[in-house]
Structure 1
Amino acid sequence: MSVDNKNQSEVSPFLADNDKQSAIERKEQELKDTKISALETEDDSQDITCGFWIFRGAFLQSCATEAMYVTIYGIAGCFMAMCFAYFNGTITTLEKRYKIPTKTLGIISVGNDMSTMFASALTGYYLRKVHRPRWMGFGLFTIVIFCLLNCSLHFIYGAGEDALKLTRDYGDYQNLTGNLNRAHRDHKLCMSEDSSCIQEDSVWVPQFILFLAQFILGIGQALFLVVGLAYMDDNTTKSKTPAMLSFSTFLRMLGPAIGYSLASLCLRWYIDPTAEPLIKIEDPRWLGAWWLGWLILAAITFVIAILMSLFPKELPSSKARRLKLERAGKQNPIEHKDHSLSDMWQSVKLLATNKVYVYNTCASILYFFGYMVYWIFTPKYIETQYQQSASVATMATGTVALGFSAVGVLLSGYLVSKYKPSARAMAAWNATVDFLTVAGILLYVFISCEGSDQLSSMATSDSCIASCHCEYVHYAPICSPENVTYISACHAGCTEKTKDQLGRTLFTGCDCINPINKTGGSELQYAVDGACHVDCFHQFLIFLGVMCFLKLVGASSKSTNLLIALRCIPPEDKSFALGVGSMVASLLGFIPSPIFYGWLIDKYCLVWGKTCSNKGNCWIYDTQSLRYALNLAAGSFILMGGFMNIVVWYHAKHLKIFDEVKTETGETKKSLEDITLKDLGSTLQLQKIGEDI
């Protein structure tokens, strides 16, 4: 045997052993790969599976469609908008019940914007690879907490002594306050001694609870809106996005209408439904059952939150579409990596160089700042300017005016989807809407009611009541024969109280009221209990008509503004850009504007409901000065927003809105992802940042 044969025979056992070992290792590797593949397949199937825990099944899976998501998302947005509208509709009642100045309520109302400002950017940046529908469901659960916190005030403090004293169960209607009781015993309504100040419930606790509720609401709002819009845009085809946005926005626009209607209905009930009120709903002292609607909203929102949480991480149709594009090489798989603060800063710098994004955001902020006074304080404006009840003012603001907003959203969505206007055309329309809004606001200035303006001429500082101490007397209006309303009998200098043949309460000996000649030459200075009737209904209808027109026109620019915001940024930065935009809008628009307008409204207050430790709520305003100040201030901001939209029009010439754009020859097609936007900077830089994040 040769040496080679000998060596081969000696080595072969080792080779056989090695082959066996390699086969075993290959088999183990194949098993591992099979397990990994099975796990990946299972994870992939879980990503598109509806439901959680025991809430699963074929029926739920059949609901994992674009149309169903947009419907549920719109309904959820509707109830969230109902919460905002209901709060705004009950603002004047909260002011009277808890003696809160308008400026303080303005600060309370921005609590949600403060939390939204921080939550939006973090939400848009860090929640891009999580199960977004479940986070949206969590956001809706926080709104349930918001509703319950607001409602808890009534169960903690009750209806309040002021409201209960105006019911049959708590004594004679004429004995409104302790001071008047004392005056009634002494037969002197004009008190010669200083009256003791009015003790009230804890002032700061209700305000803190209201602010805390608003702060929690902002977190839920950020989770729902920022994540929800990005999820919808990622899971629908670009050609369907305008229609989807319009439909969901339409459903959300129904929310304020229903919310204001619910507030109007609840305010028709007295704050204590078990008591019989001795005043009518038109009386400015009427307090409605503001707390009742929060229980209804909490229950329904809880159900919607569960439904929203049932949607999968990614819709099956969207995943199939994405995988098809990836296999065809038309779209690169998006790799999600851990994010750092430096990555976030790079994304912020990129957005700051995007001129379309920056100017469009500025235009939106200016519009929001100007129009915020009408979103929050329109019911209060109607009550003070046109002397309508809280229920009527709330119904007009919601059911009537916001119905036109919904029509505007639907109409604009239809026109945009059908005619597919360019980005420049959309920006031009946004500017036109701003200028039309300014024109309508200028009309507000001239829609005045003489009877309402005369209320500010009441004698509150005449020398005739210099000897009367009426500073802490409750607001209990009386009407003079000259149709002038006085804050109370004390403020009119009255000294006696009696009944006439019709059973009306008469206050006599009123030094501040011009004497009336009676038969026999005697003179009598008297007033009738209750505020004077002021007929401003005609002016109110004119105001309502102008407001409906502005709602219709203004709502038509919502979809176009949002489409520009969505399309001027790369897909991978979409959620973050929306979050940053929401944060900046909160910081510069939503937070300062209610405080500013609240301060402006309080500046023109003539009569405060003072208490021992607080100036309380305002009862009478200088309506003429307030009308000029509010409307001119709001119009100025919106006018600047219109000029900013002109700048957007100039820089949006290269921006494409829709998926495919045909050339004149009809041969070339470009998808949105392939468009290089001049105003976005370097394409390589975009790709690098996109990979890093």
Structure 2
Amino acid sequence: MGETEKRIETHRIRCLSKMKMFLLAITCAYVSKTLSGSYMNSMLTQIERQFNIPTSLVGFINGSFEIGNLLLIIFVSYFGTKLHRPIMIGVGCLIMGLGCFLQSLPHFLMGRYEYESTVSVSGNLSSNSFLCVENGTQNFRPTEDPSACVKEVKSLMWVYVLVGNIIRGIGETPIMPLGISYIEDFAKSENSPLYIGFIETGAIIGPLIGLLLASFCANVYVDTGSVNTDDLTIAPTDTRWVGAWWFGFLICAGVNVLTAIPFFFLPKTLPKEGLEENVDVTKVDKEEKRKEEVKKEKEGLTKDFFPFMKSLLLNPIYMLFILISIIQFNAFVNMISFMPKYLEQQYGKSSSDAIFLIGIYNLPPICIGYIVGGLIMKKFKITVKQAAHIGCWLSLLEYLLYYLCFLTTCDNASVAGLTTSYEGMQHDLYVESTVFADCNLNCSCPSKIWDPVCGDNGLSYMSACLAGCKESIGSGINMVFQNCSCLQSSTNSSAVLGLCDKGDTCALMLQYFLILSTLSSFIYSLAAIPGYMVLLRCIKSEEKSLGVGIHTFCTRVFAGIPAPIYFGALVDSTCLHWGTLKCGEPGACRIYDSTNFRYIYLGLPAALRGSSYIPALMILFILRNRQLPGESVSSGIMHTGSKVTGKQSELKDMHQDFKVVNAVDMKTKL
């Protein structure tokens, strides 16, 4: 008898250890997939500069991840649970690793990055060839023969990044649904929330590590190790700077491959956690019968598909909620994707600093908001109608607070001939003829090359030649230009490489913007859990899986894919000066009109979100006299026993809802 109990206990420990192994592996998978996603999102500006492509095309590359996800989601949803789930998750991780590797591949095929510059450090040109030389001919880098030029212009190396992102989206698809369902099937019901909490912790840690990695890589020059960085004439704050974007993708690829290994050693099925063999055969039989019934239900799912679809389409609250989600996701996808670029252009921060600030100021409040929102729902036993009001009014409060961001403004960088005249007077539109003035008219300067210098009069110039500088001392980034004819009113008439700093006032405005961003992130994430509870409770329990799937599908198709593309095109429309490729073709944008950029970056999401409150108020109106599927008909006249069972079923339903929220909402937001 003692040996039998010992054998049962040993078996139980072995089962628990396998479940814990799976829990650890799936948590690491969540870390790796969110790490890759946040890193990709943070490197969009670096990719744009590396390949000299417009922002709209970068937005398409970013949205291609959703395309890859959608290609496989139907297959995973219908057939995933019938196959070996751990192996499928492991294969998904390997595919993600392959996608990340493909994204880094162009760096090894393209050769060194060459930025446009009038300053030569190679020594094959005279030291003064890039300065103001009367009646001279100007040489500037990069200069190649026409054949090489045509090849560079027609280069499509960015396609590797596009295909890699699609493959990464395909690989990520099975991780979330199959991982959650595996835990649901084989973990104790009381342990399941704790396990899912561990998994979602990985979804929080991953983006934080991804942002820190992106901040580090953006600060390291793209060709570090193969070029002498002391010879560089650009700094990380320069809009021509490209960080080592490829290095982070290699790290993400390695992490994804390592994460895949444990899944190939895990079994297809596990005994239900805590289930004892040889103790009660009838319990096992009941469990097997229950599984067979569930299997029959899954096989009959296709028969119920069209009735469920009809029921969902005729559900006004559900359809209005999908409309709200599409509008709001359009706004937030745009803001998150282009926030690093906005901080760079509006406040003059480097890519590295911008990414780091986003991670520090925005990510922790979102995580805290989710936790606090869930605790409030649990502690105060919030009903569905109360949750709808909480979600709506908290979101409206954050929306009104958002308008304060319009006050945290900085002026355009003062660039002579571009945003200001050579006398320092602001003007609105860029006119080609204003590039030249009397002080540089005879200098034979190129008019399209972007190689800015900052004069000691506080005014920036598009190049040292256009500043009228005739001498230079030093080398690399420390080069100083002297005897600049356009700076005669200043003390030394000298200039240094780079744009002039925007000043302390702009730095203070950045702090205000980040504080507002922190408060907004917290308040909105506080409203997210109550909002999703409305989605989950407005549909019948048997329709939940399909309902959440359609909701996710719609937000990806109508927001995740198109939003970065059209928003990128609008951002491109604010460009003041495009980079110049070897053939004279336009490359990536070097400087934007800060005012118009701000109106688009803040104004378009404000307009979209404002329109979303119309269907939100309609939901509140419909809920006034509507009985939801999850609500009891009369809670006031229940007997004591029925109250207890009702509360138990309500807690069980709430527990199930929170798992769906964790699986869908945390994935989307983080």
Q: What is the TM-score with the length of structure 1 in the denominator?
A: 0.75
In 2, the alpha carbon distance for the partners of 1:429 and 1:339 equals 38
Aligned-pair CA distance for 1:316: 3.4
Structure 2 equivalent of residue 393 of structure 1: 354
Query: 1:454 and 1:109 mapped to 2: Cα distance?
Result: 31
Tell me the number of residue pairs that the alignment of Structure 1 and Structure 2 aligns.
603
Deviation (angstroms), 1:622: 0.6
Question: Among 6, 15, 38, which residue is 1:61 paired with?
Answer: 15
| Deviation of 1:477 (Å) | 0.4
Distance 1:308 1:662 in 2: 50
Kept in 2, the 8 Å contact 1:149–1:210? The answer is: yes
Q: What SS does the aligned partner of 1:617 have?
A: strand
- Equivalent residue for 2:591, pick from 620, 637, 640: 620
- CA 327–220 in structure 1, closer or farther in 2 if over 3 Å, else same: closer
- The question of whether the paired residues in 2 share the 8 Å contact of 1:261 and 1:399 is answered with no
Correspondence for 1:162: 115
Equivalent residues in 2 for 1:413-432, closer than 5 Å: 413-432=374-393
Equivalence for 2:163: 212
Q: Establish whether residue 598 from structure 1 lines up as the match of residue 568 from structure 2.
A: yes
Equivalent residue for 2:501, pick from 520, 533, 546: 533
What CA distance in whole angstroms lies between the structure 1 residues aligned with 2:363 and 2:81? Answer: 33
Any conservation in 2 of the 1:508–1:526 contact (CA below 8 Å)?
Answer: yes
**Paired position in structure 1 for 2:521:** 551
Q: Is the 8 A contact 1:115 1:216 kept in 2?
A: yes
How far is the alpha carbon of 1:338 from its aligned partner?
A: 5.3
Instruction: Give the counterpart of 1:270 among 221, 231, 238.
Output: 221
Tell me the SS of whatever aligns to 2:551.
helix
Q: Deviations over 1:155-181 (max 9, x none)?
A: 11233133999997x5599979xxx66
Contact map agreement 2:138 2:445 (CA 8 A) in 1: no
> Is 2:666 the counterpart of 1:666?
no
1:586 corresponds to which of 556, 559, 565: 556
**Does the residue aligned with 1:496 lie in a helix, a strand or coil?**
strand
Match of 2:8 in 1: none
Work out the CA distance in 2 between the residues paired with 1:171 and 1:60.
69
CA contact (8 A) 1:123 1:579 kept: no
Deviates more, 1:270-279 or 1:316-325: 316-325
- Tell me, in whole angstroms, the C-alpha distance in 2 between the residues paired with 1:235 and 1:166: 66
2-structure distance, mates of 1:115, 1:99:
24
The equivalent position to 1:151 in structure 2, one of 81, 100, 104, is: 104
Q: Distance in 1 between matches of 2:23 and 2:377?
A: 18
2:207 matched residue in structure 1: 256
Paired residue for 2:325, among 361, 364, 372? 364
Q: Distance in 2 between matches of 1:208 and 1:440?
A: 40
Structure 1 residues 227 and 261 mapped into 2: Cα distance closer, same or farther (>3 Å)? same
**1:647 and 1:73 mapped to 2: Cα distance?**
40
Give per-residue Cα distances to partners, 1:331-350, cap 9 Å, x unaligned: 95441565797764444333
Say if 1:186 and 1:144 are closer, same or farther in 2 by CA, change over 3 A.
farther
1:584 Cα shift? 1.2
C-alpha spacing 1:655/1:424, structure 2 compared with 1 (3 Å): farther
Does the 8 A contact of 1:428 with 1:646 survive in 2?
no
Deviations 1:444-482 (A, max 9, x none): 211012364779614553635467887774421012343
Q: What is the percent sequence identity of the aligned residues?
A: 23
1:509 and 1:436 map into 2 onto residues whose CA distance is: 53
Q: Can you list the C-alpha shifts for 1:563-620, whole angstroms capped at 9, x where unaligned?
A: 4444555555544433322221111111111112111111101010132375211110
Tell which deviates more after alignment, 449-458 or 223-232. 449-458
List gaps (5 residues or longer) in structure 2: 1-10, 277-282, 422-429, 654-670
Q: Deviations over 1:57-115 (max 9, x none)?
A: 997632344x7655543442232111121112222222222112111100111111123
What SS does the aligned partner of 1:398 have?
helix
Q: 1 CA distance for matches of 2:474 and 2:100?
A: 47
In structure 1, the residue matched to 2:49 is 96
What is the one-letter code of the residue matched to 2:450? Y
Per the TM alignment, residue 529 of structure 1 is displaced from its structure 2 partner at its CA by 3.3
Instruction: Flag structure 1 segments of 5+ consecutive residues without an equivalent.
Output: 1-56, 519-523, 677-693
Q: Using the alignment, how far apart are the partners of 2:12 and 2:356 within structure 1?
A: 43
Q: d(CA) in 2 for partners of 1:450 and 1:155?
A: 39
Q: Offset of 1:393 from its aligned partner?
A: 0.6
Larger mean Cα displacement after TM superposition, 320-329 or 437-446: 320-329
- Which 10-residue stretch deviates more, 225-234 or 319-328? 319-328
- Aligned pair partner of 2:579 in 580, 597, 609: 609
Q: Which amino acid aligns with 2:15?
A: Q
Closer, same or farther in 2 for the Cα pair 1:418/1:63, shift >3 Å?
farther
Q: Distance in 2 between matches of 1:311 and 1:423?
A: 40
Change (3 A) 1:448 1:503: closer
State the alpha-carbon separation in 2 of the partners of residues 174 and 405 from structure 1: 55
Distance 1:83 1:151 in 2: 12
1:457 correspondence with 2:457: no
Residue pair 1:351, 1:357 contacting (<8 A) in 2 also: yes
Instruction: Give yes or no for contact 2:335–2:601 (8 Å, CA) kept in 1.
Output: no
Q: Is the CA contact (8 Å cut-off) linking 1:230 and 1:574 kept in structure 2?
A: no
TM superposition shift of 1:152? 1.0
Report the TM-score, using the length of structure 2 for normalisation.
Answer: 0.77
Which whole-Å CA distance do the structure 2 matches of 1:529 and 1:181 have between them?
A: 13
Distance change >3 Å, CA 72–CA 413, structure 1 → 2: farther
- Matched residues in 2 for 1:213 and 1:564: separation? 37
CA distance in 2, matches of 1:417, 1:68: 30
Aligned to 2:310: 349
- What residue number does 1:19 align with? none
Deviations 1:234-267 (A, max 9, x none): 6667777766655533431222221111111122
Question: Kindly tell me: are residues 551 and 172 of structure 1, through their superposed partners in 2, closer, same or farther at Cα, counting changes over 3 Å?
Answer: farther
Provide the secondary structure at the position in 2 that maps to 1:286: coil
Q: Distance in 1 between matches of 2:401 and 2:50?
A: 34
Decide which moves more: 416-425 or 264-273: 416-425
Which whole-Å CA distance do the structure 2 matches of 1:239 and 1:422 have between them?
23
Is the aligned partner of 1:142 residue 2:95?
yes
Matched, 1:304 2:259: yes
Residue 667 of structure 2 corresponds to which residue in structure 1? none
1:505 aligns with 480
Sort the Cα spacing of 1:259 and 1:656 in 2 relative to 1 into closer, same or farther, 3 A: same
Residue number among 29, 38, 48 corresponding to 1:76 in the alignment: 29
Match of 2:603 among 589, 610, 632: 632
SS in structure 2 opposite 1:63?
A: helix
Say whether the 8 Å CA contact 2:361–2:515 is kept in structure 1: no
State the partner residue of 1:679: none
Partner of 2:4: none
Matches of 1:199 and 1:259, distance apart in 2: 36
Partner amino acid for 1:530?
G
1: CA distance between counterparts of 2:571 and 2:445?
Answer: 24
In the other structure, the counterpart of 1:317 is 272
| Greater Cα shift, 326-335 or 353-362 | 326-335
Larger radius of gyration: 1
Deviation of residue 430 (structure 1)?
2.3
Indicate yes or no: 2:455 matched with 1:480: yes
